[in-house]
Structure 1
Amino acid sequence: MSHQPLIILTPPRSFSSVVCALLGRHPDLYGFPELNLFKTDTIEELNFARIQRRWPTAMDGLARTLAEIHEGTQDELSVHRARVWINEHMHLGCKEVFNYVLDYVNPKIGVDKSPTTILKVENMERAFHMFPKARFLHLTRHPVTSAKSIAEFLSVIIQTREQVGAMQAKVGWSVDPAFLSDEEEDLKGNKPVKVSPLKLWLSAHTKIMNFMERLPLGQGMRIRGEDLLSDLDIYLPQIAEWLGVRTDQEAIDEMKSPEESPYARTGPINAPFGNDPKFLANPKLRSSKVPIPPLKGTFEWAVDTDTAREIQELAQQMGY
């Protein structure tokens, strides 16, 4: 069967967890946690990346998904059996495994929001080659609030590393070095790795924009996350119509409870994540509108002049 999943493209801390969960609540859709199946060609390669990059949570989302579709629950035992399944199917391609989980939720349209998809253009191209008829939703967030949220996330990672040292791997706080630029990357750990949240924002959205420009007509949509979350009754029907699914009020109202997603809570100890930890701690929608700060004069001091200009130009293209 030829599946047509919805793939959300956005860097970390850009509303992707809550947006995937609320879209996945639509009667005709199914929101997955972070599957990370577009990062490599095979499950064995994904597992190798998990080990090589000290990325212990790489398969949490996949393990939780398999536990849920196989057994309808995500306790420690069901997740253990899911991980056994993964170990027994290391030889499979990521496309085969993705089709496997999509077959389980069929006829619903699967929704994936793995941040690793946007690490490299080749990951997005891999997603397109796996699913040539997939829809791609470019989800944006203002560079300033996005950078602040990423910085907050990274500070938690650093604090956790300082507190638990070698236990870090068990807790699962890790940043895939591919998020960083080449000059900042140090896989051997010879020097502290520095992350520029604003540069991450610029790099990620530049890659996404370049990829989206090459999509066939009708397979891509861009939406500001702030607009979507502030006016659900306006933007959710637009997304539903684009996907060709129900747009009636009952279906739209069903989407307003992302906390009802089976993946909108911390998982068992052997797969606690698979979504942003902040979302897992509080998955309910806010009742107020999402503020959008001014663009000019709010971030230039944090980066060099050329980068500041590039950020402003790209943000303006997105409507900020």
Structure 2
Amino acid sequence: MSLPPPIFILASPRSFTSLVCAMLGQHPELYGVPELNLFVAETMEQLLQRFKGVLQFQLHGLLRTVAQLYAGEQTMLSIEMARRWNLNRLDRSTGEVYAELCQKVTPLRIVDKSPAYPINPEALERIKNTFPDACYLHLIRHPKTQGESVMKIAGGMMAKAVDSFDYSTQPPTLDPQYAWYKTQSNILEFLSKVPSSQQRRFRGEDVLGNPRLHLEQISKWLGISWNESILEAMLRPQDSPYAYLGPYGATLGNDPNFLKSPIFKQRKILPSSLEGALPWRQDGKGFIPYVFKLAQDFGYS
């Protein structure tokens, strides 16, 4: 039996992915999940080994999803059940486990926005090998506002975690534009091998500024139904079972700011400029030429 192909949102962190994924997940033919992160490893044993200690939070999305799908709720008890569920599948590939989750939600299609995928080309290849007919939504955000958002979280912890430094200075300067460029380059390289019918690119600012237009475009691309009541449902991301902090042991799985305030408020996002000094740098430097050029190619100015 063929499974309904999942939809993967590929983006840099802090690019409105939690909100957009939850909005898409409210479509009656889709199922938005928190960050599953399954494809960062080949097997479940490797996955659980990788996400130990301080990295355990990267399993929260998977635990919450399993708890919700197999127990119908997210409680401390159902999270413990989800941990056993994972342990019972140590000898399976992460692709097999992902397919099991797809089977569980059939006929709905999973929408997954795990930010660990686009920074890891091997993870992207695992997705393609497991689901050759998957669809990919390339979601972008202006590198200046994306960088500002990254730097506001724990002193730029997300940029540090992916070694986003300018090593031309002494000492090296933490600068999220390097990670933005690397992630976008990974996505573009991967999507160059994916049929054009299975991919679309949207600017996050445009989706949030005019959700009616862009959510309809996404729905038509995916070949799913569209009407006024569906739009109304998609404008209520707070109705997702994953739109709030989870129970003890699996509180996260999505962006913490989204989990604290998941209600969508349509707003026009004022354009940022690619020119000038970057607000997170003390030396007055701006975007390096290849970041500037790629952002222009995406329609930013």
Superposed pair shares fold, TM > 0.5: yes
List runs of 5+ in structure 1 lacking aligned partners.
158-173, 185-191
How do residues 1-320 of structure 1 correspond to structure 2 at under 5 angstroms?
Answer: 1-51=2-52, 54-155=54-155, 177=161, 179-180=162-163, 195-299=174-278, 302=281, 308-320=288-300
Give the secondary-structure state (helix, strand or coil) at the position aligned to 1:56: helix
CA shift for structure 1 position 305: 7.5
CA shift digits 1:61-117 (9 cap, x unpaired):
111000000111101111111111111211111111111111111101110000000
The alpha-carbon deviation at position 306 of structure 1 amounts to 9.9
The 8 Å contact of residues 3 and 99 in structure 1, kept in 2 or not, is answered as no
Q: Does the aligned pair in 2 maintain the 1:299–1:308 contact within 8 Å? A: no
Q: Distance in 2 between matches of 1:301 and 1:61?
A: 30
* CA separation of 1:133 and 1:113: change in aligned 2, threshold 3 A: same
Cα gap change, 1:183 to 1:231, in 2 (>3 Å): closer
- The one-letter amino acid paired with 2:47 is L
3-state DSSP class of the match of 2:8? strand
Deviation at 1:181, TM superposition (A): 5.3
Equivalent residue, structure 2, for 1:169:
none
SS of structure 2 residue aligned to 1:74: coil
SS at 1:155 equivalent: coil
TM-score (norm 1): 0.86
Matched-pair identity in %: 36
Shift in CA distance, 143/37, structure 1 to aligned 2, threshold 3 Å: same
Give CA deviations for 1:165-192 in whole Å, capped at 9, x if unaligned. xxxxxxxxx8894x225998xxxxxxx9
Structure 1: distance between partners of 2:41 and 2:166: 23
Offset at 1:215? 1.0
Distance 1:235 1:21, change over 3 A: same
Q: 1:316 to 1:248 in 2, by over 3 A?
A: same
The aligned residue for residue 164 of structure 1 is none
Kept in 1, the 8 Å contact 2:34–2:61? The answer is yes
Deviation at 1:304, TM superposition (A): 10
Letter in 2 for 1:155: G
Could you say if the C-alpha distance between residues 244 and 204 of structure 1 is closer, same or farther in structure 2, counting changes exceeding 3 Å? same
Q: Distance in 1 between matches of 2:117 and 2:133?
A: 17
- Deviation track 1:137-186 (CA, whole Å, cap 9, x = no partner) reads 100000010000000113285xxxxxxxxxxxxxxxx8894x225998xx
Richer in helix (by share): 1
Distance 2:6 2:254 in 1: 18
In structure 2, do the counterparts of structure 1 residues 292 and 23 end up closer, same or farther at CA, with 3 Å as the change threshold? same
SS in 2 for 1:38: helix
Query: After superposition, what is the alpha-carbon deviation per residue over 1:27-50, rounded to whole angstroms, capped at 9, x for unaligned?
Result: 000000000011111111111111
Q: CA deviation at 1:243?
A: 0.4
The 8 Å contact of residues 134 and 219 in structure 1, kept in 2 or not, is answered as yes
TM-score, normalization by structure 2 = 0.91
Kindly state the Cα deviation for residue 217 of structure 1 after the two structures are TM-superposed. Answer: 2.3
Q: Take 2:74 and 2:174, find their aligned partners in 1: how far apart are those partners?
A: 34
The separation in 1 between residues aligned to 2:35 and 2:63, in whole angstroms, is 10
Q: Give the SS at the match of 1:270.
A: coil
For the 8 Å contact 1:8–1:114, the answer to whether it is kept is yes
Q: Secondary structure at the match of 1:259?
A: helix
8 Å CA contact 1:300, 1:308 repeated in 2: no
Pair 1:289–1:183, CA change in 2 (3 A) = closer
Q: Give distance in 1, aligned partners of 2:242 and 2:25.
A: 10
User: Which consecutive unaligned segments of at least 5 residues does structure 2 have?
Assistant: none
> Where does residue 170 of structure 1 map in the other structure?
none
The alpha carbon displacement at 1:51 in A equals 2.2
Secondary structure of the structure 2 residue equivalent to 1:55: helix
Q: Equivalent residue for 1:160?
A: none
RMSD of aligned residue pairs (Cα, Å): 2.4
Q: Distance in 1 between matches of 2:239 and 2:172?
A: 37
Distance 1:300-1:21 versus aligned 2 partners, 3 A rule: closer
Number of equivalences: 295
